[in-house]
């Protein structure tokens, strides 16, 4: 892949900063302090895995509404010396007591979105620890060093983070437990530039560093979490925590115009990004106006079809045989394209194969050895479940809300089952070489963002920063789409005429997420990177 820096074409207005470039190593995250934590690991002799985990740990302090050890974590790790990619899935399972009948007997017809009931086993901490234990060079004390410092001594809130933190103010104030005491200052969310500290979390991290993660998974911290859950009517036990394990899996992939796009297999929605690209592969997008009406119509319809499949098929493959090969086959791509009418938006489709049986942070890093890491961790909604265990600073995720309570649905809740998950790290290969680790945050936006970012690079020849910053479309559900500022008004008008409904929500709300990308220029032997203009972060190398 060649990027033009001298002739930026019509896309240059979309890029609001330069592509970062460095000879030895590169880190990118959504907050500058966290990016610095990753660089520190590289300078200390660590590798890209150490850098990625250090960034995630620091983000759990400086962007705490997005990530915590009470959440989950996933990764794609390219090991240069072995020339292979390993996939990490550290998503937590439902409690052993999570019987469908228990929820329905409590009067629930759908899973609650917040509170203690959607809390699943937190997998993030074990994922972080196993990643550095297997493939890193440093230890827990190193990767948690900055996180502990910022939690104990405080840090000034960056602007985007302060704004998104403020959106959760009412939830934090209303939730039982330690939410308000931990994450509000005098009853208010911290303002931009205000110094915020979290001494409880600092103490928790010090104990984990000193005693190991067993203190969380079955040990004293686990007992505290379980007691907290029971106090508030939950069913998560310390035995559930002790039983957690990380799954090391083979990635799934798709050839997109000669580029190999890698994602993690279900229970995550990486297959959805690949399915969007599979459908788009049959169109000559390069011949279309970028973000013109024809381009955006095809994109919206491909997303709509992929999401119909996502919402039905994706779940824990230990409980249901997700038809991955069928959904990614060239034949299925043809079937999807046959459903797209170029003159009209389609109503919400049904799953294409029928009913067969059987807030997030993303970081990327590359190092001097050529290793590349695509790493993502989250507690889902802003501050997850809203439940914070008193005296620990630990926020618990609400991933269980994605379970169905329909006994016929593949993703129906069951004991020790993993739900459909939104977190997806991505990678891109060409001619057998690992080119790039990339990701786009934002729940349902993630596969939509992956597909648009890859297409911007491959179909429209943008450079990394242009492809990242370019205005995005988001399918919101049913017939509704959102067009980010910067997409021509003529495109919106033409799409409306085709039957698409425009999301009317004020454009001050970021609905299209934020991303990072770290790219290896094999010809020059250097690292390139992009960090999304929509977030507070940056890419830095050395």
Q: Which of 250, 248, 247, 203 is nearest to 389 (CA)?
A: 203
Write the DSSP symbol of residue 498: H
> What phi and psi values does residue 429 have, to the nearest 5 degrees?
-120, 155
**Locate tokens 């939830």: which residue?**
171
What is the secondary structure of 516-532 as a DSSP string?
EEEEEETTTTEEEEEE-
Q: Which of 299, 318, 542 is nearest to 417 (CA)?
A: 318
Q: Which of 418, 462, 426, 464 is nearest to 446 (CA)?
A: 426
Residue 425 in contact with residue 378, Cβ under 8 Å?
Answer: no
Q: Name the pairing type of β-strands 501-502 and 480-483.
A: parallel
Report in angstroms the alpha-carbon separations of 48 from 29, 73, 526: 13, 16, 15
Q: Provide CB contacts within 8 A for 450, sequence distance 6+.
A: 261, 263, 270, 273, 276, 424, 426, 438, 439, 440
Q: Which of 315, 390, 348 is nearest to 476 (CA)?
A: 348
What burial class does residue 307 get, using C-beta atoms within 10 Å of its C-beta: 0-12 exposed, 13-18 middle, 19+ buried?
A: buried
Rg (CA), the chain: 22
How remote is the C-alpha of 464 from its chain's centroid? 19
The CA distance from 56 to 392, in Å, is 18
Assigned token pair, 310: 């996502």
Residue 540 in contact with residue 20, Cβ under 8 Å?
Answer: yes
Q: Name the pairing type of β-strands 480-483 and 473-477.
A: antiparallel
What is the secondary structure of 452-489 as a DSSP string?
HHHHHHHTT---HHHHHHS--EEEEETTEEEE-TTS-H
> What phi and psi values does residue 283 have, to the nearest 5 degrees?
-115, 145
Could you tell me how many residues make up the chain? 542
Residue 388 in contact with residue 396, Cβ under 8 Å?
Answer: yes
Instruction: Point out the residues that are catalytic.
Output: 360
The CA distance from 106 to 397, in Å, is 21
Assigned token pair, 185: 């200052």
Assigned token pair, 145: 């060093």
Three-class SS of residue 131?
A: helix
For residue 2, the tally of other CB atoms under 10 A from its CB is 7
Write the DSSP symbol of residue 401: G
Three-class SS of residue 262?
A: strand
């Amino acid at each position: 892949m060649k990027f033009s820096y001298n002739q930026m074409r019509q896309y240059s207005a979309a890029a609001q900063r330069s592509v970062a470039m460095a000879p030895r190593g590169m880190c990118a995250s959504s907050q500058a302090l966290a990016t610095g934590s990753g660089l520190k690991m590289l300078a200390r002799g660590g590798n890209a895995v150490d850098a990625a985990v250090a960034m995630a740990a620091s983000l759990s302090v400086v962007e705490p509404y997005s990530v915590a050890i009470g959440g989950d974590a996933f990764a794609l790790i390219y090991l240069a010396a072995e020339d292979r990619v390993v996939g990490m899935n550290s998503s937590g399972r439902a409690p052993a007591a999570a019987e469908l009948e228990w929820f329905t007997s409590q009067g629930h017809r759908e899973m609650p979105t917040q509170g203690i009931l959607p809390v699943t086993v937190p997998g993030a901490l074990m994922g972080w620890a196993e990643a550095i234990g297997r493939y890193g060079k440093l230890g827990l004390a190193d990767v948690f060093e900055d996180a502990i410092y910022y939690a104990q001594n405080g840090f000034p809130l960056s602007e985007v983070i302060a704004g998104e933190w403020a959106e959760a103010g009412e939830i934090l104030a209303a939730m039982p437990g330690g939410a308000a005491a931990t994450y509000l200052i005098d009853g208010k969310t911290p303002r931009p530039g205000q110094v915020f500290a979290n001494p409880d979390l600092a103490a928790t991290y010090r104990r984990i560093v000193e005693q190991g993660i067993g203190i969380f998974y079955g040990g004293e911290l686990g007992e505290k979490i379980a007691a907290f859950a029971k106090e508030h009517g939950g069913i998560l036990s310390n035995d559930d925590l002790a039983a957690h394990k990380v799954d090391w899996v083979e990635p799934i992939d798709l050839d997109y115009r000669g580029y190999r796009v890698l994602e993690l297999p279900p229970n995550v929605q990486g297959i959805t990004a690949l399915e969007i690209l599979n459908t788009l592969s049959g169109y000559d997008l390069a011949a279309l106006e970028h973000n013109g009406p024809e381009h955006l119509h095809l994109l919206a319809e491909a997303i709509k079809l992929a999401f119909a499949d996502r919402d039905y098929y994706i779940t824990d493959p230990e409980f249901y045989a997700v038809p991955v090969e069928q959904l990614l086959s060239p034949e299925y791509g043809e079937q999807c394209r046959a459903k797209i009418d170029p003159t009209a938006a389609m109503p919400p489709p049904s799953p294409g194969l029928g009913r067969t049986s059987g807030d997030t942070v993303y970081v990327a890093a590359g190092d001097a050895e050529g290793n590349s890491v695509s790493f993502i961790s989250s507690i889902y909604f802003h501050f997850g479940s809203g439940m914070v265990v008193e005296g620990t600073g630990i926020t618990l995720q609400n991933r269980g809300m994605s379970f169905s309570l329909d006994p016929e649905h593949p993703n129906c809740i069951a004991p020790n089952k993993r739900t459909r998950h939104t977190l997806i790290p991505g990678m891109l290969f060409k001619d057998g070489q690992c080119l790039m680790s990339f990701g786009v945050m934002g729940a349902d936006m993630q596969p939509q963002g992956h597909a648009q970012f890859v297409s911007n690079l491959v179909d429209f020849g943008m450079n990394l920063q242009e492809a990242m910053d370019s205005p995005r479309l988001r399918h919101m559900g049913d017939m509704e789409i959102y067009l980010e500022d910067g997409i021509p008004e003529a495109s919106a008008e033409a799409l409306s005429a085709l039957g698409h409904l425009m999301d009317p929500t004020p454009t001050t709300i970021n609905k299209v997420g934020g991303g990072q990308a770290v790219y290896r220029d094999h010809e020059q032997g250097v690292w390139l990177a992009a960090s999304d203009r929509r977030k507070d972060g940056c890419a830095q190398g050395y």
